């Protein structure tokens, strides 16, 4: 039973239908009943599994990419190594293990984690105890220092608003209540400056999603990298100017209705990488973009997989090979997941983006 549902129904009764972004924020981060605040959602026992939980190789490849960028930028002696939405801390732990041999990298790094969930902060504190991480409330709190940043499956968890195109206007999807149940409805169409540019690449009736929280976060990251140097790797499922309804709920590895059990299922939407790149544009950075499969291949995942395979036998070997396949195959995560890389415009390009463009 969802403890959150009656609270949301009552709020709608008092204030009227709510935006999807408000619904999503309540479901994910309500202090008592939010999905991320109440449970460890990852892994085979949880509702979904992310790349770092599939294989250590994911974090190893990203770690080497960031460490190479740190070396290429002259090995700044004090920098922020940051992650947005670190989950169980597995990705950061793998990055740190993989970069142990990079002389000076660990000594120069201050680990900063941006995490909203107290439950997950506690898990991260255990996983990363040896590295004395610091938690920040938001990307705005990132220090004024060179920034090397990771975000995997973070932007998909940020609340979205959703609109149906109606002529030159947009009808917003709202969550309403009928009796004790939640339903989708639509507001009357209005014109919206933030969606003006989408009139060029959509048709009447198309669904467009907009994530208001994304641009300020990208701005905070871009400002640090432009001013102090560094790099960012943002990995998520999505596309360049996606169209269509991608609002989804996952529960026990199955798709569910997003309105059925608020607070008990993971709610996400695909990431529109073009909107992220638009927020980068004013900051004189280089933005590189590719799909996860070519990215990992270019960073050497095949050689790393073969090396790890040498010490494995039987089911462990089969699981290892399946994990590599899952991360890289176009039929699995290799094409759906994209990587956006940011560096100062004058710095050497990031490794990993020389494969086919997505
Ligand atoms: N990066 C991890 C976890 C992805 S799930 C992995 O790849 O396994 C999303 C993560 O973002 C969780 O840690 C969640 O608690 C966090 N999160 C979601 N919304 C957030 C917000 N608005 N601010 C900070 N952290 C948030």
Q: Say yes or no: CB of residue 42 within 6 Å of ligand 1.
A: yes
Give domain status of residue 234, yes or no. Answer: yes
Average pLDDT over residues 194-207: 94
| pLDDT, tens only, 87-122 | 999 999 999 999 999 999 999 999 999 999 998 999
Confidence band of 44 (pLDDT split at 50, 70, 90):
low
11 within a domain of the structure (yes/no): yes
- How do residues 215-264 score in pLDDT, each as one tens digit? 999 999 999 999 999 999 999 999 998 889 999 999 888 899 999 999 99
State if residue 236 touches ligand 1 by the CB under 6 angstroms criterion: no
Q: Establish if 358 belongs to a structural domain.
A: no
**Ligand 1 atom closest to residue 42's alpha carbon, by position in its atom list:** 8
- Among 85, 86, 211, which is best to mutate for testing ligand 1, by the most ligand atoms less than 8 A from CB? 85
Q: Is the CB–ligand 1 distance for residue 47 below 6 Å? A: no
* Ligand 1 mutation target, pool 90, 116, 217, most atoms within 8 A of CB: 116
DSSP state letter for 42: B
Is the separation of the CB atoms in 83 and 150 below 8 Å? yes
Between CA 246 and CA 274 the distance in angstroms is: 16
Q: Please provide the average confidence, as pLDDT, over all residues in the chain.
A: 95
pLDDT in tens, 47-90: 789 999 999 999 999 999 999 999 999 999 999 999 999 999 99
CA of 131 to the centre of ligand 1 (A): 20
User: For the domain that residue 218 is a member of, what is the CATH number?
Assistant: 3.40.50.12710
Stretch 198-222: mean pLDDT, rounded? 96
Alpha-carbon span 170 to 175, nearest angstrom? 16
Find out whether the beta carbon of 262 lies less than 6 Å from any atom of ligand 1.
no
What residues make up the domain containing 125?
5-291+334-344
d(C-alpha 160, C-alpha 165), whole Å? 16
Other Cβ atoms closer than 10 A to 224: 24
272 domain-assigned: yes
Is residue 136 in some structural domain? yes
- Using one digit for the tens of pLDDT, what is the confidence trace for 320-346? 999 999 999 999 999 999 999 999 999
Q: Whose CA is nearest to atom 17 of ligand 1?
A: 85
13-27, 38-52, 249-263: least confidently modelled range: 38-52
Report CA-CA distances (Å) from 145 to 20, 27, 54.
Answer: 36, 34, 32
pLDDT above 60 (res 357): no
Q: How far apart are CA 135 and CA 162, in angstroms?
A: 31
Q: CB–CB of 259/175 below 8 Å?
A: yes
- Pocket test of ligand 1: the residue of 87, 266, 267 to mutate, having most ligand atoms within 8 Å of its CB, is 87
Q: Report yes or no on 314 lying in a domain.
A: no
Question: What does the DSSP 8-state code read for residue 331?
Answer: T
Residue 192 DSSP label: -
pLDDT at 41: 72
Judged against a pLDDT cut of 90, whether residue 208 lies above it is answered with yes
If you write DSSP's letter for every residue of 241-299 in order, what string do you get?
T--S---EEEETTEEE-TTTSTTTSEEE--EEHHHHHHHHGGG-EEEEEEEHHHHHHHT
Ligand 1 neighbourhood includes 58 CB (under 6 angstroms): no
Please state the pTM of the whole predicted model: 0.96
User: Is the residue at 313 inside a domain?
Assistant: no
116 in contact with ligand 1, CB cutoff 6 A: yes
Structural domain total, the chain: 1
Q: What is the pLDDT of residue 358?
A: 40
């Amino acid at each position: 039973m969802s403890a959150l549902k009656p609270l949301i129904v009552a709020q709608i009764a008092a204030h009227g239908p709510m935006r999807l972004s408000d619904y999503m924020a309540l479901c994910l981060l309500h202090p008592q009943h939010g999905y991320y605040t109440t449970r460890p959602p990852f892994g085979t026992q949880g509702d979904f599994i992310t790349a770092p939980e599939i294989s250590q190789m994911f974090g190893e490849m990203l770690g080497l990419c960031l460490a190479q960028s740190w070396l290429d930028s002259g090995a700044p002696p004090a920098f922020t190594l940051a992650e947005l939405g670190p989950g169980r801390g597995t990705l950061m732990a793998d990055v740190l293990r993989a970069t142990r041999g990079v002389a000076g990298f660990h000594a120069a790094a201050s680990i900063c984690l941006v995490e909203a969930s107290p439950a997950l902060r506690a898990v991260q504190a255990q996983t990363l105890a040896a590295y004395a991480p610091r938690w920040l409330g938001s990307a705005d709190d990132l220090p004024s220092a060179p920034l090397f940043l990771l975000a995997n499956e973070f932007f998909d968890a940020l609340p979205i608003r959703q609109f149906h195109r109606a002529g030159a206007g947009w009808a917003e999807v709202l969550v309403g209540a009928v009796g004790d149940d939640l339903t989708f409805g639509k507001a009357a169409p209005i014109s919206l400056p933030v969606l003006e540019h989408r009139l060029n690449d959509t048709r009447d009736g198309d669904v467009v999603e907009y994530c208001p929280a994304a641009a300020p976060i990208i701005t905070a990251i871009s400002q640090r990298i432009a001013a102090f140097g560094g790099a960012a790797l943002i990995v998520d499922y999505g596309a360049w100017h996606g169209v269509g309804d991608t609002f989804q709920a996952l529960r026990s590895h199955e798709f569910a209705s997003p309105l059925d059990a608020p607070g008990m299922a993971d709610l996400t939407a695909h990431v529109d990488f073009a909107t992220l790149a638009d927020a980068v544009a004013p900051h004189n950075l280089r933005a590189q973009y590719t799909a996860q499969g070519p990215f990992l291949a270019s960073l050497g995942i095949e050689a790393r997989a073969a090396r790890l395979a040498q010490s494995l036998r039987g089911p462990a070997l089969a699981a290892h090979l399946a994990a590599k396949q899952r991360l890289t195959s176009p039929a699995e995560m290799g094409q759906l997941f994209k990587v956006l890389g940011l560096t100062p415009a004058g710095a050497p390009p990031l490794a990993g983006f020389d494969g086919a463009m997505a």
